[in-house]
A and B are shown apart, each in its own frame.
Chain A
Amino acid sequence: QKEVEQDPGPLSVPEGAIVSLNCTYSNSAFQYFMWYRQYSRKGPELLMYTYSSGNKEDGRFTAQVDKSSKYISLFIRDSQPSDSATYLCAMSAETGGFKTIFGAGTRLFVKA
């Protein structure tokens, strides 16, 4: 079993839809949770980050962490074609020296 599981998709939605991206994990020591966006042939860029459980909102993006279920989500409201990219969840723990473990990434296509 992988430490971090993420459905690779692809996920195709119409413009304006609400997108839900999810990851599950097995290591209960993870404390730091991140979402990265990666455009084709580019390095990932940090989109959202949260510490421990809870929600965090930034514009059209909301990140949720449920540590009891070992489940994290990223919601994108009013999705735009420019949101088309691969979204990778990532997580780390201080006990692991902040070694970051990535999910496989979900490819998202937002159709105009």
Chain B
Amino acid sequence: GAVVSQHPSRVICKSGTSVKIECRSLDFQATTMFWYRQFPKQSLMLMATSNEGSKATYEQGVEKDKFLINHASLTLSTLTVTSAHPEDSSFYICSARDLRQGAWGYTFGSGTRLTVV
């Protein structure tokens, strides 16, 4: 089945620094990837849709200058949290769509737990 690798799984950074999270589709090409944020005991909230070769589409309320998304190839999307602050601490999860599996082809990465101190 489709596999999505997300790295790192856990990161601690100082306030004011930037952190990059990578999401890779290992055995399929993903023209579209999604980035979610999940607070403890809450659901996944879609932050943005990452489109290969074009600008990401951000959900309402998500700061595009703070959460930079780059989808430079068909197998890699990155999310950079710029000038991170403690309130950015959260669980970030990416998802990629394997078109071979139609509407069900969304596979999630294992998530990245970001802690900003």
Contacts and interface: CB of A to CB of B under 8 A. Distances in A.
Interface residues of B, number: 22
Interface residues of B, dominant DSSP: strand
A88 B97 CA distance: 18
A36 B115 CA distance: 25
Interface stretch (B11-19, B68-76, B104-112): B104-112
Interface in B42-80: 42-44, 46, 49
A103 B107 CA distance: 17
Given A92-B103, A98-B103, A43 B108 contact: yes
Nearest to B110: A43
Contact of A104 (B43, B108, B110): B43
A32 B106 contact: no
Interface stretch (A44-52, A58-66, A75-83): A44-52
A99 B44 contact: no
Contacts of A8: 41
A71 interface: no
Interface range for A: 20 to 34
B93 A43 contact: yes
A30 to B, nearest CB: 11
Contacts of B97: 98
Interface of A: 6, 8, 32, 34, 36, 41-46, 49, 51, 88, 92, 94, 98-100, 102-105, 107
